[in-house]
Chains A and B, each alone.
Chain A
C-alpha cells in the first residue's frame, strides 16, 4: 500500500465525480438562502439560532452521505463499463490500493468535504444573522453569543467520524455490488434487501429486516450521543458518548462485514473483465 498511489487514486476520483463537492455546496447555498428568508421574517432571538444552524449542517452532511451512496454504486462499475479499467490497470497501482482509495472517498473524502462546506455555510449564516440582527436593532454580536460555533463544530466532527464507521458496511456493500454486477448495480444492491423484507412480511408478518435496516441507518445516533440529546441541538461535549458507541456489538459487526466486502471487492477487481 503506497501513500502516493492512494493519494493519486483519490485525486482522480475527485476529477471524475464533481458531484462530490457540487451537491453539498448547492444544498448549503439553498439552506443559507432559506435561513436568510427565515431571519428576515421572524423576530431576532439569538437563543433559538442553534436550531437552524444544526438543521442546515445536518442537511449538508446527509447530502454528502447520499452522494456517497451513488458514488460507491458506480465506483467499480463505471470503470469497467467505459473500459478505462484497462488504463488504470496499466499503471503500477494494485487492486487493493484502487479499491481502498474508492472506500476512502466514500468514508473520508466526501464527509470531509461535506463538513468543510457545512462549516463555511455556518460561518456565512453567522455573518448574515449579525447583519440582520444589527438591522433589526437586536445587536450585531448577539448571534455570536447565541451560537456556540466552536463546540458545535467539534460535535459535528465527532458525529461524522462516528457515522463513517457506522456506515462503513453500507458503502462497502455497495462497492462490492458495483464491482460484481455486470449491469444495474442499483437493483442488485437494493433488490435482495427488499426481497428479504417482502418475504419476511408475507411469510411471518414480522419486520426484523426493516428494523435491522433502520438500525443501521439511524442507530448510531442513539449510541454516539447521550439519551435525549437529540431533541435539541447538541452543544455540550458531555453529550457525546463514544464509549457507548465502541461498546456496541453492531459497531464492530458492521466493521467486520465491511472488511469482508472490501476483501471480496479487491478480489473481484482483479478477476473481472471490462463489461
Chain B
C-alpha cells in the first residue's frame, strides 16, 4: 500500500490555486524531500495530507481520508508543522505527560532518554528554552511516537548549523528504521540531499519533478567544462550554465555520458542547482521570492 497517494489534488484560496492538480505516490519506507520556492504550495499540500485543510481531488494517507479522519490518522502520522509551535507556557515534563496521556503509541522512556542527552531540564517552560532546544524537545516528543509517517515542514528554520545537523542525525540514526516514511519540506536543500531517497519539486502548485535520488543521479550531471570545450558544451543544450571561480559549470539533463565526458570533469549536481535551473527555466522568478 502506498503511504501517500494523491490524484488531482487541488486547493484554491479564492481565485488563486495554491495546489493546482497534484498527482503523487509515496511508498512506505521512503525519505522524501518536498522542495519548492516560497508560495509554491508545499505547505498547503502538506496541510491537506495532515487533515489541516480541506481540498478537492483524491487524497489517501495510509489509506485514510485526512480531512474526514484526522484524529484517527494522527495515531499513525506525526508532524512538525513549523518551528516553535509548542506553546510557551508548557513545561517539558507536562508536555511528556500530555502526549503520553493522549497518544497510545507514545513511549515515555524513549522521549526521556532522548531529552537526557540534551541540556533541556524537565522543569523548564518552553519560553525559557532556546529555539534550537524547542526543536529538540518537539523532535523528542515526535520520535517517541511509533508512527508510520512523519511529516516535517521546515523543521529547522532559523536554527544554527549545529542544531540542524543534530536534528537530522537524530532523525536518521534514532528514528528512521526503513519501514517508516518521512516527508521533509525545506529550503535548506543541501543539508538533506544525502539523506533523501526521493525528491519532488513543486512549483506554482504543480509537481515539476518527481524522482528517486538514484534516478536523479543517473539522469542529471554537471560538467566543469574545460575552456576550450565550452562552445561544444553549450551546443549540447545544457539546462543551465553557471560560473564558479572563473570556470563554467554546465548542468545536463539525460545527456550521454560518453559524449560529455571529454568536455571536462563530471560531478554529481546538487539538488539546489537543479532546483534553481528548473524554476528559473520555468520562465520567471518564483512567486514571493525577493528580487
A-side interface residues toward B, CB under 8 Å? 4-5, 7-9, 11-12, 15-16, 79, 82-87, 89-94, 97, 271, 273
Contacts and interface: CB of A to CB of B under 8 A. Distances in A.
Interface string B89-116: 1110010011101111000000000000
A82 B134 CA distance: 14
Contacts of A8: 97-98, 101-102
Contacts of B72: 92
Main secondary structure of the interface of A (DSSP, over half): helix
Nearest to B88: A82
A224 B231 CA distance: 95
A79 B79 contact: no
Contact of A11 (B70, B86, B101): B101
11 contacts: A4-B101, A8-B97, A11-B98, A15-B94, A16-B87, A83-B82, A84-B85, A89-B50, A90-B80, A90-B81, A91-B74
A273 B81 CA distance: 12
A83 to B, nearest CB: 5
A84 B91 CA distance: 14
Interface in B38-95: 50-54, 70-72, 74-75, 78-82, 84-91, 94
Contacts of A83: 82, 84-85
A100 to B, nearest CB: 13
B159 to A, nearest CB: 17
A97 B99 CA distance: 15
A235 B81 CA distance: 56
Main secondary structure of the interface of B (DSSP, over half): loop
A90 B75 CA distance: 9
Interface residues of B, number: 33
A160 B77 CA distance: 42
A2 to B, nearest CB: 8
Contacts of B54: 271
A94 B71 contact: yes
Contacts of B87: 16, 79, 82, 84, 87
B85 A92 contact: no
7 tightest CB-CB pairs across the interface, nearest first?
Answer: A8-B101, A84-B87, A86-B81, A92-B74, A94-B71, A86-B85, A87-B85
Contacts of B81: 86-87, 90
A26 to B, nearest CB: 20
A89 B98 CA distance: 13
Contact of A86 (B82, B91, B103, B104): B82
Given A93-B71, A271-B54, A16 B89 contact: yes
Contacts of B97: 8, 11
Contacts of A12: 90, 94, 98
Nearest to B73: A92
B99 A91 contact: yes
Contacts of B52: 86, 89
A7 B101 contact: yes
A87 B145 CA distance: 14
Among B52, B98, B102, max chain A CB count under 10 A is at B102
A79 B86 CA distance: 10
A272 B71 CA distance: 16
Contacts of B94: 12, 15
A235 B219 CA distance: 88
B102 A89 contact: no
Contacts of A271: 54
A84 B72 CA distance: 20
Contacts of B88: 82
Nearest to B81: A86
B171 to A, nearest CB: 16
B101 A92 contact: no
A28 to B, nearest CB: 24
A89 B47 CA distance: 11
Interface string B129-154: 00000000010001000000000000
A5 B85 contact: no
A90 B78 contact: yes
Nearest to B84: A83
Nearest to A274: B85
A96 to B, nearest CB: 9
Contacts of B138: 87
Contacts of B51: 89
B102 to A, nearest CB: 5
